[in-house]
Amino acid sequence: MERHKKTIFTRHLFIDLAKECGLNAAIFEQLGSGRDTEIVVDNDTLKMLVKLQEQFAQLEEMGDNEYRGFYIELPRPTQEEWGDCEASIADGEYESTEEYLRDWELSNPRETVWYHISSARYRENRTIQFTDGKHSYFTIANYSRYINRVGNNFPNEWQRDFLAKLTLYFHKLIDTIIQDPEELNYYVANHLFSALSVWRPYISLIIPLKLSSTSLKSLSSSLASLFKLLYRGSIW
């Protein structure tokens, strides 16, 4: 059997994968800024959520209720993805292309943004949550936390399109993680805390099923320097 090529996780790997699947940080930011941060699925969109969680199931459980999670890095939107420059100028929102580009830069100051993605299931309740490591942005679930919730603010067509992008993205990403989990953990350990968007006193390990004891020791060793920095307070 042909051995997989060693995966080198880099910022550009995350950027290229997100662009290939039509995702960027602006989509997550918009979902997190609204009053309704729940995407409640049913029928055909529920099937898509189930398929999405089946991909997460390739990773080892990290807690109760089939909890699994890891960090991802998404690129900021391009100038074209962020809006229509010419239309915005024609509408009087901006006076020039330069003003539009300045606003784009101010609104998206970082090339990439970190998010933590987690999947959990309790009995029939399924949830995928997107956070910045501290605060929740939005959830995808087959139930609502609100007892008196009426209707859904996210149209089914939009849900299907968004879930299809996520399913493709996580299918490709998790396949890559399984090939070389130590490399992802090493990358996250060395880059997550330098980002302005997230700081945490711990890091979630990515441990796929059937990870050998040798690989696990290697994984622990690769993170040792991070925890030394944490205890010394060198990264705050």
The stretch 9-25 carries a mean pLDDT of 95
Using the predicted structure, report yes or no on whether residue 196 has a pLDDT greater than 90: no
* pLDDT tens-digit map of 140-155: 999 988 766 555 667 7
Local confidence band at 2 (pLDDT 50, 70, 90 cut-offs): very low
pLDDT band at 60 (very low <50, low <70, confident <90, very high): confident
Mean of per-residue pLDDT scores for the chain: 80
Distances (CA, A) of 65 to 62, 121, 124, 166, 179: 9, 5, 11, 22, 25
**Position of tokens 């729940």?**
38
On the question of pLDDT at 227 being above 50, the answer is no
Say what the pLDDT of residue 220 is: 46
Phi-psi sector, 230: left (phi>0), alpha (psi -120 to 50), beta: alpha
Whether the Cβ atoms of residue 53 and residue 126 lie closer than 8 Å to each other: yes
Please name the amino acid found at residue 102: R
